[in-house]
Amino acid sequence: MIRYVIFAHDRSGSSSLARALSVHPEINFTLDPFHPNYGEWYPDERTYRDSATDGPSLEAVLQEISLRYNGIKVLSYDLPEEIYRHLLLLPDVKVAFLRRRNILRTVVSGKIADQTKMWQLWDPRYNREEAYRGLQPIDLDQVESAIEYQIWLQVYYRRIVVQRPKDSRMFLNYEDFYTDDLSRNRANLEAVLRFLGVEAADMSAADEFLDPRTAKLNSTSTYELLPNAREIEKAFGSDQVGWLFER
């Protein structure tokens, strides 16, 4: 059975974190196996989404995945809540629950990615400068509903994960892994490795996924390319939801 689960919310740096952890010789994550395009992204794999319809079928899928991987990274919207509840309460797994405190940036980053189809900085199919040229305004009603949904998701799933034994759950924040201080990012990654219970190893190759220059897709400068970014900031920015621009 799968040993490690990163359960993440949208635009929370989960792919970078999973890739960084997979640098360790004892860890091997697969990314988003329940996404409908998984089989297209990885031609040697099959699409698992339609096979996980309840608790027993989910466990059968996880058993199949575990023949090649010992960890999965999943996003909170790929499967129904009840199936994810079963996943998050499985015994004998370690669950890292990853969120982004700045929900406004979560939402806007997601809406920008919807337009550009660029989800990761290292995606070889896209050039960020070209992808971000011609960004269109984001509808404010869509931003508002997305913020409400993100808040609901974070509260709902946290209430599930907190039911796990303390030594089998860990709550993580995007903001702790992608700071301008690479040594701090490394230290936080090492804390996750200790939680997972693996031996110390050379993790220098993980810097590619922890350094904002190579791992962070959006910043203040890219948000400025969005025509109504300042309008969004004025309408929704707050200390509770977050701000698009530094304060």
What per-residue confidence (pLDDT) applies to 129?
Answer: 83
Using CA atoms, how far apart are residues 186 and 23, in angstroms rounded to an integer? 13
Give the mean pLDDT of the chain: 95
Instruction: For residue range 224-247, list pLDDT tens digits in order.
Output: 999 999 999 999 999 999 999 987
Query: Which one, of 49, 127, 121, 112, lies nearest residue 84 by Cα?
Result: 49
Query: Which one, of 13, 4, 7, lies nearest residue 206 by Cα?
Result: 13
Contacts for 190-193 with beta carbons within 8 Å, 24 or more apart?
192/17, 192/21, 192/96, 193/21, 193/24
Query: Which one, of 59, 141, 115, 44, lies nearest residue 92 by Cα?
Result: 59
Q: Is the pLDDT reported for residue 121 higher than 80?
A: no
Instruction: For residue range 16-64, list pLDDT tens digits in order.
Output: 999 999 999 999 999 999 999 999 989 999 999 999 999 999 999 999 9
What per-residue confidence (pLDDT) applies to 124?
Answer: 67
Using CA atoms, how far apart are residues 139 and 235, in angstroms rounded to an integer? 12
Burial 186-196 (b: 16+ CB within 10 A, else e): bebbeebbebb
What per-residue confidence (pLDDT) applies to 131?
Answer: 84
Q: Is the pLDDT reported for residue 122 higher than 80?
A: no
What are the two backbone dihedrals, phi and then psi, of residue 27, each rounded to the nearest 5 degrees? -125, 135
Q: Is the pLDDT reported for residue 125 higher than 80?
A: no
Mean pLDDT over 190-198 rounds to: 98
Q: Give the global pTM.
A: 0.94
Report DSSP letters for the chain, one per residue. ---EEEEE-TTSSHHHHHHHHTTSTT--EEE-TTSTTHHHH-TTS---GGG--SHHHHHHHHHHHTTT-SEEEEETTSS-HHHHHHHHT-TT-EEEEEE-S-HHHHHHHHHHHHHH----TT-TT--HHHHTTTPPPPPHHHHHHHHHHHHHHHHHHHHHHTTS-GGGEEEEEGGGTSSS-HHHHHHHHHHHHHHHTPPP---GGGGGGT-HHHH----HHHHTTSTTHHHHHHHH-BTTTB-SS--
